[in-house]
Structure 1
Amino acid sequence: MESGPAIPAGAEQLTATWIQDALAAGGVADVPAIESIAVEQVGAGVGHVGESVRCRLTYAEDAPGAPATVFVKLHSSHPSTDKLARRVRLYRRECAYYRLLSRRAPIRSPILYYGDYDRRSNRLALVLEDLDGMERVDEIDGASAAQARCAVRAIARFHASSWNRIHEPPYSDIFNSLDPKWRPPVQIIYLMSLRRTFEVFGDHFSGDMRRVTETLGWKAADYMGDLAVGPRSFGHGDYRLDNMFFGPGAGDLAVIDWQVCGGNNPLGDVAYFLGGSLPTELRRSMEREAVAEYREELCRAGVEDFSGEEAWRLYRQNMLVRLLVLVVSAGGLDISNERSVRLLGLGIDRTLAAIEDLGSEEYLPARRRLFGPSWAFSEVSRCAYAGSKRLRRS
């Protein structure tokens, strides 16, 4: 892409000239002069780490081949959200995915017209295809069985394309969530997020589930290490209904919001989707079948030596990933609007039910070698969290 316009500070700085320059820099040919744009805010909910708007374009002349609308995604102006995005490279990842991988990936995402990320300021600007003509399903309502099967098959094909190859470009050029260097920071962020999670959503946790949630806090790094033992693939990371668009044909699915993408345990996306985007009763009735179908789709795409038993074990183990992400979201993202609070609370309910149903507590790591580095970090984390609780009570 050519050098483009400066990244705007917010959507209020978007103009017809900026869109025109961005499209030109992105190589979109034969676009006549844009006279004006109408900007509409979209994207309220949990996990929207940024500002998202739809721009309706008015051209100076007929433009049958030019986009009538574009979707523009910018960085967040919310301080805590921006801080979290910088810490775990959310904007950098998403821009890299669209630039390096989206066009070759076996899962549809919006066409990238223009993308820019500035590392120093942590500012992002993406001009994307508008998928407004496709169907969206409210995550609060939950997916149907047919939609769930469609999503599971699609992510299986996506995972198969990078199966045990995340060390190769372009995957290695984007992000590797399994890199050991990320384990301590994630554990620290999780622990820092527990207080706000319990303050806002404490009534969603039973005594047992509160204990599991706290225990994961000082074992998160070891848990992430356990996930790294086994198959690896490049995953979406936030694979849920709010990030999906369904077309009229069977299997017609497009997925947005690639900020958390990276190399990971492949069953993480499956557990994340089934554990949060389905009503609990539907998840209970079809999850075994869905995991089996996921494995079958992998095999059809060429994956070998991956049994149904291993797929089910990894699904159960990865359900704790949902809990980890929900706590970090509650602690670090802007959840000031009503839908965010409702969606996050419902996600916690669905996730805790899945953890109990599946016995995923079994996969909390056992105590590591006494006085080893892993044991020491876990003990320091546990004591620090216990100390902060005592201080708040005093």
Structure 2
Amino acid sequence: MADFPTRPDEVDAVWLEARLADAGVLDGARIVKVEWQSIGTGQVGDTARFSLTYDRPAPLAPASVAAKFPSSDPTSRQTAASFSLYKREVNFYRDVAGLIDMRVPRAYAALLDDNGCDFVLLFEDLGPCEAGNQLSGCGIDQARDALRQAAALHAATLDHPVLDSEWLQTDPQASAMLRALYPQAQAIFRERYADALDPALMAICDELDECADLWFDRKPARRSFLHGDFRLDNMLFGIRDGQEPIALVDWQTAAVGCGLTDIGYFMGCGIGSGLRRPHEAALLDLYCAEMTRRGVAMTRDEIMDDYRIGALHGVSTAVFSSAFVVRTERGDANFLSMARGACELALEHNSLGALKRRMENA
């Protein structure tokens, strides 16, 4: 059993005070009152905001903090544990956040039990802010801010030793499970959404299922640290009441791979085709310029195949996640939105053809 809280109602002033004191932000102040409320729309984790009252003025002490816990839903919780999602997020804050200047919340505590199912993250509250919303979309300035953040992550971690950390290595058992379950996931996806997704787009999903081994066997020429779920629901805009433009949260699917996987994912299932199509070239040029400014020279022509293939990450994520997390009305809308945008990008850019050519020449 974990020796830390794993639900919001288990958090008390004593535990919070100890964590914040360790972080050096209390300056001797004592917490005399704690109130909490649920926030966020996560599928595999539960998040809450804790409002704090102190016994004296403490300039560095936060008026509120955010905390993340395992999902209260048994299906989502078991899925997350099976694929080490909680382990990855905790270790991101422990080992990677300090290496990058991408804006992420400061972590006051990052604790994980040996079972991989129980964890707690305590971090700074970045509100007031606007939570990104997959279904509402975003504006072009927010898309630009996101791509600048992606470059901050990918350039700083390119070929970095942290990529060889034990917790980032592929688990053969989990990988085999993913391959074995993928056809079942596609069958569930097709049954649920065949009437809602254009047949030409569902055909992309079917074809990716047919060549899933190519998808799972691909190897990047150079590696960076990936967010893995780089879309609007995992972004906060106008943080700290507009003092900063953006922050990235939800690192449960962090991985090692080609940075363009995050970019293809974001441009497809992240922002949707309505925003992508008129701005695609300029946004890709912006990412390349940011990477080049950070010491990793690249041009749009050089990245296009990686970008095309990266879009398929949105297809596979929508298909697999929709089958194996708790089903909700918002979740259905979310997965459809992701699949639609990713499949449209994949269809327009022949992503499956690019994947097949890449693997034939591997």
Aligned partners of 1:150, 1:79: CA distance in 2, in Å?
A: 36
Aligned to 1:101, what secondary structure does the other structure show?
helix
In structure 2, the residue matched to 1:234 is 225
Give the corresponding residue for 1:89. Answer: 84
Counterpart of 2:11 (choices 10, 14, 23) is 14
Deviates most, 30-39 or 147-156: 30-39
Which structure has the greater CA radius of gyration? 1
Deviation string, structure 1 residues 245-292 (Cα, Å, up to 9, x no partner): 233889832111111112111101111111123242221111122112
Write the deviation string for residues 186-209 of structure 1: whole angstroms up to 9, x where unpaired: 322322322332233222333343
Q: How does 1:1-394 map to 2 (within 5 A)?
A: 6-26=3-23, 28-44=25-41, 47-120=42-115, 122-165=117-160, 168-169=161-162, 172-176=165-169, 183-226=175-218, 228-247=219-238, 252-304=245-297, 306-336=298-328, 338-365=329-356
The alpha-carbon deviation at position 121 of structure 1 amounts to 5.4
Q: Deviations over 1:190-239 (max 9, x none)?
A: 2232233223322233334333323322432321322x142321111111
DSSP-derived class of the 2:77 partner: helix
1:12 is paired with a residue whose SS is helix
Pairwise CA RMSD: 2.6
SS at structure 1 position matched to 2:122: strand
Distance 1:368 1:171, change over 3 A: closer
Q: Which runs of 4+ in 1 moved over 6 A?
A: 248-251, 366-369
User: In structure 2, what is the Cα distance between the partners aligned to 1:262 and 1:343?
Assistant: 22
For residues 39-78 of structure 1, give each alpha carbon's deviation from its aligned partner in whole angstroms, at most 9, with x where no partner exists: 111112xx53111000111222223321110001001132
Residue equivalent to 1:379: none
State the percentage of identical aligned residues: 29
Deviation at 1:155, TM superposition (A): 0.7
Task: Give the direction of change, closer, same or farther, for the CA distance of 1:23–1:39 in structure 2 (3 Å limit).
Answer: same
Deviation at 1:333, TM superposition (A): 1.4
State how far apart, in whole Å, the 2-side matches of 1:61 and 1:229 are. Answer: 54
d(CA) in 2 for partners of 1:103, 1:74: 22
Q: Is the 8 A contact 2:311 2:342 kept in 1?
A: yes
Amino acid at match of 1:263: V
> 1:80 & 1:221 partners in 2: Cα distance?
26
For structure 1, the residue ranges without an aligned partner over 5 or more in a row are: 370-394
3-state DSSP of counterpart to 2:306: helix
CA distance in 1, matches of 2:195, 2:126: 37
Partner SS, residue 296 of structure 2: coil
C-alpha distance in structure 2 between counterparts of 1:57 and 1:251, whole Å: 23
Deviation at 1:20, TM superposition (A): 2.0
**What is the CA–CA distance in structure 1 between the aligned matches of 2:138 and 2:258, rounded to whole Å?**
23
Q: Is the 8 A contact 2:134 2:232 kept in 1?
A: yes
CA distance in structure 2 between the aligned counterparts of 1:144 and 1:57, rounded to whole angstroms: 34
Q: Report the secondary structure of 2:251's partner residue.
A: coil
CA distance in 1, matches of 2:288, 2:10: 47
1:338-390 CA-to-partner distances (Å, cap 9, x unmatched) read 32222222222222222222222313537999xxxxxxxxxxxxxxxxxxxxx
| Residue aligned with 2:135, SS | coil
TM-score normalised according to structure 2 size = 0.89
Per mean C-alpha deviation after superposition, the further-off stretch among 256-265 and 128-137 is 128-137
SS of residue paired to 2:253:
coil
